[in-house]
Chains A and B, each alone.
Chain A
């Protein structure tokens, strides 16, 4: 038998939304029961079957992780990542399928699980350690290390409700970071805390994975962490595995799958962040000069798009902006329009935007598009569209690719 740390085969998870809702209270359950009996007497159809809506959070997911491997899981919200982690960490059972896990598992779906605000830092270390599966002796042995890592020193005996959020997160993560399981399941926890502490956590995780040969399963939206920490990754979409393979390829696949194939993208139904005031918003963006496929241009080519906006009420100093992000989540550049000619006052407008000589290295880039006004944001569309930069003769000759940064200036070399 091949060595594996985790072997999942045919995992599926079904949630029954409709029925769970309607029977939420005893009163409803009783009423339902009475109705059931009543309708049986009346020889009419029972409604229980029709009332429930099935939802498959996971569908036939299979994969294998070898010992010592750091595997990432990527997917948009609702792709089934959380459900998969919950099954792997035994919080919930799969509806079908089977997972075999070799070794002790510690899962960290949240930092500070079980922290009690009334208890002191010291007490919470003990409690949280036990909840995460450490024995009393293990916690004792690591106690000083945990305190040192968290940098909470003098506040050790203060109730954590008086901690700053930074201290809280530091303490919580450092307990988790000192677990010594064979398999470590981590969800999004890298996104908390300040940058310096994040770096420390990533260092610690890297250390756990490589120096100690632990298996790590990591879920994050930060593609950069995936590429840098993971060897392999799994792309989930709609509860199914869409790709599994090398981390770089998986990130590329994910970004590409996100790209919209249609030349015109409609944003009217797209949710916006709460802080977008939406008095002036982007409703459609079209790629005006597509070659074979929209949203795909050659290296050093140009992109011409049409942006249709709709305004509800006047705004002052409105500008449209575009920000370009790399596959790893880094902001590569941004452009913005001059002041919008009409301050707005109802009705729609069309703008044409042309980006020329785009010397972004071949790869997929995500564009965030929005409308900014004098005081804050009117509209903000994260990943409004994805643009793939295709390699050309020039890039192949000069070996310009995704591994040589984001941008290649026009250049010439000559001997003097």
Chain B
């Protein structure tokens, strides 16, 4: 806020009484008199102690206390994204549509990768859904702290809320894509079955993965400003080492190596749930993904928490 010069002579203030009396002049509007709230006596108020390096104790409690703010931040991010509705939703659809066409052409037509009977565009689409989820969640989370600089330097709240709220946008995007891709699947004659019930599990897995990676990246972006150029590069590479445009079960030699990338398991899971049994789950990949995700989340939280107390100073 720009601070104008001295607001001027004290004639503005003459109606105020100092500590000697709480009376405001009679012409003051009525609504100044907000309802009286009994003031708790000094002893039963919660005492907060601020000390160097002592924020740990109340951090997780605060995170819970501020859960409503998480909702509001997520709501703001999605609202702003879809504010100009035509463009917002349109963008969430056009991008994957073009990518589906492109990947179908490259992997299906040029490279002639096997699809195991699944219509190739559908194979790509069911791979793109989780990939979009993870990559947009990672991108959102990585940029979250820097794009909320104005909040971080002016207000206290557990900073973890910022990358967490970025996940919401990715989730809403996924919802829209799911709604649109289901008719496509039906058009190819693929009906969902009981496996669909497990889809939320894979969605949560994908989000956790993205959160772990995003925590690292957003904290590193605050510390090293040029790190944000690295994030798109990592994601670009990821699009190809993740089986978005192809199936891993026809590449036995590579399957385990590829599944060290935890997003592979999410892609497998999505296809397994959505394609009604045309693909099988790959257990070693799933187990590896659970471990990698856990490691990412734990280490990401650790690094985020370690650097968090200095965010306001260096951002």
Report the count of interface residues on A (CB-CB < 8 A). 90
Please tell me if the beta carbons of B312 and A228 are within 8 angstroms of each other in the complex.
no
Which residues of B from 24 to 72 have beta carbons under 8 Å from A? 24, 28-29, 31-34, 36-37, 39-43, 45-53, 55, 68-69, 72
Q: State A328–B153 Cα separation when bound (angstroms).
A: 30
Q: State A221–B8 Cα separation when bound (angstroms).
A: 12
Q: Looking at the assembled complex, report how far the CB atom of B59 sits from the nearest CB atom of chain A, in whole angstroms.
A: 11
Q: State A366–B118 Cα separation when bound (angstroms).
A: 83
Please tell me if the beta carbons of A67 and B42 are within 8 angstroms of each other in the complex.
yes
A27 CB contacts on chain B under 8 angstroms: 226
Please tell me if the beta carbons of A182 and B6 are within 8 angstroms of each other in the complex.
no
Q: State A401–B2 Cα separation when bound (angstroms).
A: 35
Let me know if A118 is at the binding interface, CB within 8 A: yes
Per-residue contact bits, chain B 8-19, to A (CB 8 Å; 1 contact, 0 not): 111011011111
Let me know if B155 is at the binding interface, CB within 8 A: yes
Which residues of A from 196 to 212 have beta carbons under 8 Å from B? 198-200, 202-204, 206-207, 210-212
Please tell me if the beta carbons of B312 and A86 are within 8 angstroms of each other in the complex.
yes
Let me know if B1 is at the binding interface, CB within 8 A: yes
Which residues of B from 204 to 253 have beta carbons under 8 Å from A? 220, 223-227, 230
B79 CB contacts on chain A under 8 angstroms: 119, 123
Closest B residue to A145 by CB, please name it.
Answer: B31
Option from A97, A107, A221 in Cβ contact (under 8 Å) with B155: A107
Let me know if B309 is at the binding interface, CB within 8 A: yes
Q: Looking at the assembled complex, report how far the CB atom of A339 sits from the nearest CB atom of chain B, in whole angstroms.
A: 27
Please tell me if the beta carbons of A222 and B312 are within 8 angstroms of each other in the complex.
no
Q: Looking at the assembled complex, report how far the CB atom of A316 sits from the nearest CB atom of chain B, in whole angstroms.
A: 27
Closest B residue to A331 by CB, please name it.
Answer: B9
Q: State A26–B309 Cα separation when bound (angstroms).
A: 20
Q: Looking at the assembled complex, report how far the CB atom of A353 sits from the nearest CB atom of chain B, in whole angstroms.
A: 24
Chain A CB within 10 Å, residue with most, of B76, B151, B223: B76
Let me know if B189 is at the binding interface, CB within 8 A: no
Please tell me if the beta carbons of B40 and A103 are within 8 angstroms of each other in the complex.
yes
Which residues of A from 53 to 72 have beta carbons under 8 Å from B? 67-68, 70
Interface pick from A187-195, A256-264, A280-288, A289-297: A187-195
Please tell me if the beta carbons of B47 and A97 are within 8 angstroms of each other in the complex.
no
Let me know if A344 is at the binding interface, CB within 8 A: no
Let me know if A350 is at the binding interface, CB within 8 A: no
Please tell me if the beta carbons of A26 and B31 are within 8 angstroms of each other in the complex.
no
Q: Looking at the assembled complex, report how far the CB atom of A262 sits from the nearest CB atom of chain B, in whole angstroms.
A: 26
Let me know if A37 is at the binding interface, CB within 8 A: no
Which residues of A from 23 to 66 have beta carbons under 8 Å from B? 23-27, 29
Q: Looking at the assembled complex, report how far the CB atom of A205 sits from the nearest CB atom of chain B, in whole angstroms.
A: 9
Closest B residue to A223 by CB, please name it.
Answer: B6
Please tell me if the beta carbons of A228 and B16 are within 8 angstroms of each other in the complex.
yes
Please tell me if the beta carbons of B39 and A212 are within 8 angstroms of each other in the complex.
yes
Please tell me if the beta carbons of A92 and B313 are within 8 angstroms of each other in the complex.
yes
Q: State A111–B46 Cα separation when bound (angstroms).
A: 27
Once A110-B154, A195-B8, A211-B22 are accepted as A-B contacts, the answer to whether A29 and B224 lie under 8 Å apart by CB is: yes
Let me know if B156 is at the binding interface, CB within 8 A: yes
Let me know if A299 is at the binding interface, CB within 8 A: no
Let me know if A98 is at the binding interface, CB within 8 A: yes
Please tell me if the beta carbons of B32 and A228 are within 8 angstroms of each other in the complex.
no
Option from B15, B29, B80 in Cβ contact (under 8 Å) with A118: B80
Please tell me if the beta carbons of A202 and B13 are within 8 angstroms of each other in the complex.
yes
Let me know if A20 is at the binding interface, CB within 8 A: yes
Let me know if B157 is at the binding interface, CB within 8 A: yes
A87 CB contacts on chain B under 8 angstroms: 50
Please tell me if the beta carbons of B31 and A149 are within 8 angstroms of each other in the complex.
yes
Which residues of B from 144 to 201 have beta carbons under 8 Å from A? 150-157
Once A29-B224, A331-B9 are accepted as A-B contacts, the answer to whether A116 and B154 lie under 8 Å apart by CB is: no
A204 CB contacts on chain B under 8 angstroms: 32
B17 CB contacts on chain A under 8 angstroms: 206
A132 CB contacts on chain B under 8 angstroms: 155
Chain A CB within 10 Å, residue with most, of B9, B15, B153, B154: B154
Please tell me if the beta carbons of A178 and B34 are within 8 angstroms of each other in the complex.
yes
Per-residue contact bits, chain A 133-169, to B (CB 8 Å; 1 contact, 0 not): 0011000000001001100000000000000000001
24 A-B Cβ contacts within 8 A?
A24-B225, A68-B39, A89-B155, A90-B55, A91-B312, A93-B53, A95-B52, A100-B49, A102-B46, A103-B45, A103-B46, A111-B1, A118-B83, A131-B69, A180-B37, A190-B7, A195-B7, A195-B8, A203-B16, A203-B24, A204-B32, A207-B22, A207-B34, A221-B3
Supplied contacts A113-B150, A123-B76, A127-B75, 15 more A-B pairs, CB within 8 Å: A3-B41, A23-B224, A26-B227, A91-B155, A99-B49, A114-B151, A116-B76, A118-B83, A119-B80, A127-B76, A131-B155, A190-B7, A195-B12, A212-B34, A229-B18
Query: Which 7 A-B pairs rank lowest in CB-CB distance, beginning with the nearest?
Result: A26-B224, A3-B42, A90-B156, A210-B22, A130-B72, A25-B226, A99-B50
